[in-house]
A and B are shown apart, each in its own frame.
Chain A
Amino acid sequence: MKQKRKERIDRGIKARSDDVFSLNSFREMLYVAVPPLAPVLLLVILPLVLPSYWQKVLISTCVFALLAMSWDFLVGVGMVSLGQALFFGVGSYIAGVSNKILGVPIWIDLPIATVLGGLICTVLLTPVLRLRGVYFSMVTLVLPLMLERIIEAAGIFGGTEGITGIKTFANPFVESYVIVLVTLFALFAFRRLVTTDYGLVLKAIKDNDRAVMSVGINIYWMKAQALFITGCVGSFCGAFLTHVYGFVGMPSFALDYSILPLSAAVVGGMGTFAGSFIGAFILVPLSEALRGIGGLRIVLYSFFLVVFIVALPEGIFHYIQRKYQQFERWVEVDK
């Protein structure tokens, strides 16, 4: 019996457009330019054409895409967080409290909440920087629940009722474009960051932390920096949504904000950021379209999560990328 195996080869156009030679023809330039330009065009045009309800969906999609990307970044440093809600919640509460109680205007409030939130989350997680694997996950799972309970028990920051009457954005277009631009910036910045020397060190910490230590790099300092970046992104999401809804409360620490980014990143494909982006843009609108199912949302996300992690761990983005860059054919095995 003749045995066959599948062979994958780079497409000609991929090889031709790899370098400066992509300037040879428009077809090759398009081949290089379309993938990064597509999300930009999509996101810039969408706020102009969508009805107002779906604009809100776009906003939450972008927020979840940002959370998913920050989760992905943290995984790339070897820290699997099960509680992105921590970053989100801290950011929301800082924005809510400073706007309502201290009267800080929105445009100062957002950057303050972003940086301060990142700092607070980093400080909160500093004790567990030394842990890895399951242990880090357990702590991150526990922390948002703990903050939620402390707020409930102590009755601080509005307690169980939360804080209402926070200033919202005056113009819906401003609202949409702020989050759209930040999402696009984060997408390309993250993708660039992991290819720099700095990103390589972070990746090395995941792959072999002792090797990184042995060349004299302080991995805890690096991990703290990674946490700070993730914390900033997560806190920005929280602060932004606080100003969209004009409300902050205990739901900011809800499971949604932990599980959906995780699902989005896993469904889209881990380690690429574009995957998290695609994942969020599939899952959030899907759950919105099926909003009749209401409480079944988390079930749906978890279901996708389990199916993809078991059956298609590479995720959608890697699959598309492979199809885009390579073709497959069956060849006979030489004996």
Chain B
Amino acid sequence: MWEVALIYGFINSVILALTALGFSLTFGISGVSNFAYGAMYIFAGFASWLFLNKLALPFFLSAAIAVFLTALLGAAMYRFVLLRVRGLVISEVIATFGVGLIILELFRYLGFSGFEYTLPVFTDGSLLIGNTYVDYQRIWIVGVGIVLAIGLYLFTHYTKIGLAFRGIAQDEHTALSLGINSDRIAGLSVAFGSGLAAVAAILILPRGTIAVNDGYDVLINAMAVCIIGGLGSSVGVVLASFLIGYAQIMTDILSGPHWKMIISLIAILLILVVKPSGLLGKQKELEERI
């Protein structure tokens, strides 16, 4: 049993990290907390399902188009909604929350629910680790998750756009004076975050059916991981995903799946009470703690 907990806890942690990556990236760079994040995730899932089943495109092509479309949706949301309320935190929260609700509830209204909405796994079969069977899709998730994390690190440290990302995160006005268009870069960061949500969706969704309600769960999980790790801190995200990931699996094994989601909610509350800036948060405590 402990072996199962160890292996599946690790996989669950990587899944959490994958879902939280985009949310954390967007917040860390532009300070926009994208409450439409869960909606982007579900949008990518349904988009690739539509391309795959209605237009009969090959899976990897439809997945790629879905990722691109989701990123485009994020950019459009920034351009037409967020740009006008940039800096007004309350309005940003309400606006992104509204956009997310529109997308999710529209899918619900259009009747996107049922067992036929599944994405295919990348490769069939499973692997025996010790005495535990792990299917290839979960191996894929772990592999791509690690590659993505490393790729993201390299991207933000060694490419021009990546450096611009970090530039406006550190000091928007100085970045502006060096010729970095902060509006454009912030828009790109929202698009990037949405794109990452889409990648996570395509990797993770084949484990079950695509359900609209998952959008809310993904948002809560992403928020939980980011709050606990410290908003905007990438190392914190990884640390927090492992904490919550193992905690979830342990409660799942010990007391049933119903309590699994509650763990992350309780964790959010606890960390906000004890240390609101998160385990490794860089935000000044006074800013949020008055």
Which residues of chain A have a CB within 8 Å of any CB of chain B? 75, 80, 82, 127-128, 130-135, 137-139, 141-143, 145-146, 149-150, 152-153, 209-210, 213, 219, 255, 259, 262, 266, 293-296, 298-299, 301-303, 305-306, 309-310, 313
Contacts and interface: CB of A to CB of B under 8 A. Distances in A.
Contact of A134 (B89, B108, B265): B89
B15 to A, nearest CB: 19
Contacts, number: 117
A208 B75 CA distance: 34
A30 B265 CA distance: 54
A134 B33 contact: yes
A313 B258 contact: no
B90 interface: yes
B38 to A, nearest CB: 11
Given A128-B269, A142-B220, A149-B265, A82 B102 contact: no
Nearest to A311: B84
B216 interface: yes
A280 to B, nearest CB: 17
A128 B106 CA distance: 33
Contacts of A310: 80-81, 84-85, 95
Contacts of B178: none
A153 B262 contact: yes
Chain A CB within 10 Å, residue with most, of B95, B105, B273, B288: B105
Interface string B73-102: 000000011001100011101110111011
Interface of B: 33, 35, 80-81, 84-85, 89-91, 93-95, 97-99, 101-102, 105-106, 108-109, 216, 220, 223, 227, 256, 258-259, 261-262, 265-266, 268-269, 272-273, 276, 288-290
Contact of A295 (B84, B93, B109): B109
A152 B89 CA distance: 33
Contacts of A266: 94
Given A128-B272, A135-B272, A82 B97 contact: yes
B217 to A, nearest CB: 9
A139 B216 CA distance: 14
A302 B89 contact: no
Contacts of B97: 82, 141, 302
A152 B265 contact: no
Given A128-B272, A305-B94, A306-B81, 6 more contacts: A82-B93, A133-B288, A138-B227, A219-B290, A298-B105, A299-B109
Given A209-B290, A262-B94, A296-B109, A150 B262 contact: yes
A145 B220 contact: yes
A40 B211 CA distance: 45
A138 B223 contact: yes
Contact of B259 (A80, A130, A153): A153
A89 to B, nearest CB: 15
B95 A139 contact: no
A250 to B, nearest CB: 13
Contacts of B223: 138, 142
A305 B288 contact: no
24 contacts: A82-B97, A128-B269, A128-B272, A130-B276, A131-B272, A131-B276, A131-B288, A133-B89, A134-B33, A138-B223, A142-B220, A142-B223, A149-B261, A153-B258, A266-B94, A295-B109, A298-B105, A299-B102, A299-B106, A302-B97, A302-B98, A305-B95, A309-B85, A309-B94
B91 A309 contact: yes
A41 B191 CA distance: 51
B220 A309 contact: no
A332 B105 CA distance: 50
Nearest to A127: B273
Contacts of B35: 141
A45 B102 CA distance: 36
Q: Which of A150, A299, A301 has the most CB of B within 10 A?
A: A299
Contacts of B101: 255, 259, 298-299, 301-302
